Amino acid sequence: METIKLNAKQLDLIEKLGLIFEQGLQPAAARIAALLLVSDKLELTFDEIREVLNLSKSATSNALNMLLTLNRIEYITKPGDRKRYFKSNLSDWKETMKDKFMEFEKVNKTMREVLSQRPHSTNDFNLKLEEFIHFMEFMNQEIPVLFKKWEQSKK
């Protein structure tokens, strides 16, 4: 097996990106996600990944399946080749972004619930809370506009 190799810069970037991705992924999965952005070769097999990152088979298997269900990666196959070739699902980032903003909306809803059950007696606080809620709603409204504006600017 042709073991793929990474230069110092790439190793450094995997570490940095890995750290960023760990917010939301377990370490092994985070480093795989990073690898698939950084590596010269973009489509890597199970064993190539497992080998450069020094992971066990189980860790590799679990991390890959996790990344697949999260839609962070995908794989292709080649005719006459049993292996799967995993690659970063870069085309899906727009959806991922939208989802992120969506969950923002959930927070907002809960905050509204909080506000609606507060006693009148804490009016000062309630007003600040309301201001915060309004701000989040404002953002929720404006960010889709920004998405569109960006689509426009590309043409």
Partner DNA sequence: TTTTTGGTTCTCTATTTGCAGAACCAAAAA
Partner DNA sequence: TTTTTGGTTCTGCAAATAGAGAACCAAAAA
Residues lying near its own copies in the complex (CB under 8 A) are found at 9-10, 13, 16-17, 20, 37-38, 40, 42, 88, 90-91, 93-94, 97, 106-107, 110, 113-114, 117-119, 121-122, 125, 128-129, 132, 135, 138-139, 142-143, 146, 149-150, 153
- Measured from the CB atom, the residue of 45 and 88 that comes closer to DNA is 45
CB of 130 to DNA, least distance (A): 30
Q: What is the CA radius of gyration of the chain?
A: 22
Residues that bind DNA (CB under 7 A): 26-29, 45-47, 54-65, 80-84
Q: In angstroms, rounded to a whole number, what is the distance separating the alpha carbons of residues 47 and 93?
A: 26
Q: How many angstroms separate the CA atoms of 143 and 102, rounded? A: 10
From the list DNA, its own copies, none, which binds 129 (C-beta under 5 to 8 Å, kind-based)?
its own copies
Cα separation, 72 vs 88, in Å, equals 6
Q: Within a 13 Å sphere around the CA of 74, how many CA atoms are in the beta-carbon half?
A: 8
Residue closer to DNA (CB basis): 47 or 99: 47
Taking Cα atoms as reference points, which of 108, 107, 17, 5 lies closest to residue 53? Answer: 5
